[in-house]
Amino acid sequence: MSRLVMKFGGTSVATVERIRNVARHVKREVDAGREVAVVVSAMAGKTNELVAWCKEAAPLYDMKEYDAVVASGEQVTAGLLAIALQEIGVNARSWLGWQAPICTSGAHGSARIESIDGEGLIAGFGRGEVAVVAGFQGVHKESGRITTLGRGGSDTSAVALAAAIHADRCDIYTDVDGVYTTDPRVVPKARRMPRVAFEEMLEMASLGAKVLQVRSVEVAMVHKVPTYVRSSFDDPANPGEGTLICNEEDIVEAQVVTGIAFSRDEAQITLRRVADKPGVAAAVFMPLAEAGVNVDMIVQVVSEDGMTDMTFTVGSADYERAYALLTKIKDEIGFASMAGEKDVAKVSAIGIGMRSHAGVAARAFRALSERGVNIRAITTSEIKFSVLIDEAYTELAVRTLHSLYGLDAA
């Protein structure tokens, strides 16, 4: 008998009627003879409401109690779905993170899964029982406190659970019917891809695609869990195929470029006339790392008279903090001046086919130049390249690259 994990996001369980629709999706798989575990998010908007209550109670709230509050959203959904399943004749029970248990680190608000004991759920399968598991949460074994995994953590819960109970696959149900070559709201000709390699999806998720959380893709890749992205709004009796996230060898013929991702949540900082000597880069980036500021693109110009300019990007949410920190340690680093901009965006092209094709990025640079898009910075890896541009040109750049690499074609 095959074993399946199904995960439903907040929009899929936003109302009781939508929860009933989810129950019909689950019943379809049960009727097909599968052992099923379901992972659910909080109802759409509930987590934001719970977070707001924490902030209202105390601006500097205790993160342990924050986790206790926000984890309740998934508890409600799990119980409601179990009730809805029972109503249509499916044997089901709800499980909270600490009951499984899903054991995590003690980093409240952003814990990482360390282990999952799936024996209780597997025993339930033997009784013909569907396990409805509250996503996004776990328990810190040493303290016994509830923990949460950070935004999007239900995706990670689902994939990790699939690995723990040796499921044949994990189906992530969301409000889109798969992974697209880019955001269809920006490029109407964007198309759904039948298959995407784990590495490509990891790059897409980290570069701005919002379909899957980055950590969930990492877990799927490490444990080789085939993962489908599907729509919960399809007819439960006749669902669409979705997109399969799988190993590279399972893709018969890889395109040179699979998709175009973009992120507007970027900010640029430039340090001018920095001493070009050993240890300066560490003096700049170690304090940022210790402050939890993630640095992405880094460009250093050719040294003149022993001095250089250094440009790098950070997330827009970290911009003020990074700027203030660098101002504070200006004398230690020894730069002459600092400039920053928040009106920038990062546009990236991803594809495992880049490994065997030369000149892929060069074509993009020429095409963007012809459309009047100025490139501020460039980074590359084996299967992607990214350019930093003025935010006003984001949609033009995305459409240009999408057409350039033939992704408009049906």
Give residue-wise pLDDT tens across range 29-64: 999 999 999 999 999 999 999 999 999 999 889 999
Sign of the torsion angle spanned by Cα atoms 197, 203, 209, 215: positive
pLDDT at 356 over 80: no
Instruction: Note whether 316 and 267 are within 8 A (CB).
Output: yes
Instruction: Note whether 391 and 343 are within 8 A (CB).
Output: yes
| Structure confidence by residue, pLDDT tens digits, 83-138 | 999 999 999 999 999 999 999 999 999 899 999 999 999 999 999 999 999 999 99
pLDDT at 366 over 80: yes
Assess whether the previous peptide bond of 59 is cis (omega < 30° from 0).
no
Distances (CA, A) of 287 to 107, 320, 330, 333, 338: 21, 14, 12, 11, 16
In the numeric block, the tokens 């189906």 are attached to 171
| Structure confidence by residue, pLDDT tens digits, 319-337 | 999 999 999 989 888 888 9
Q: Residue 410: pLDDT band by 50, 70, 90 thresholds?
A: low
| Structure confidence by residue, pLDDT tens digits, 279-297 | 888 999 999 998 888 898 8
Pairing of strands 137-140, 145-148: antiparallel
Bigger pLDDT: 250 or 360?
360
For residue 95, give the nearest of 15, 159, 163, 40 by alpha carbon: 40
Percentage, residues of the chain above pLDDT 90: 74
What whole-number distance in Å separates Cα of residue 179 and Cα of residue 241? 11
Domains of the chain in sequence order: 3-249 (3.40.1160.10), 260-404 (3.30.2130.10)
What whole-number distance in Å separates Cα of residue 75 and Cα of residue 53? 17
Q: Residue 148: pLDDT band by 50, 70, 90 thresholds?
A: very high
Q: What is the pLDDT of residue 253?
A: 66
The encoded tokens of residue 125 equal 């399968």
Instruction: Note whether 116 and 219 are within 8 A (CB).
Output: no
Task: Say what the pTM is.
Answer: 0.84
Distances (CA, A) of 84 to 3, 19, 27, 124: 21, 7, 11, 18
What whole-number distance in Å separates Cα of residue 268 and Cα of residue 339? 8
Q: What is the pLDDT of residue 317?
A: 85
Look at 27-36, 312-321, 385-394 and tell me which has the smallest mean pLDDT: 312-321
The encoded tokens of residue 255 equal 């395109």
Phi, psi values for residue 384, rounded to 5°? -160, 160
The Cβ of residue 89 has, within 10 Å, a number of other Cβ atoms equal to 9
pLDDT at 213 over 90: no
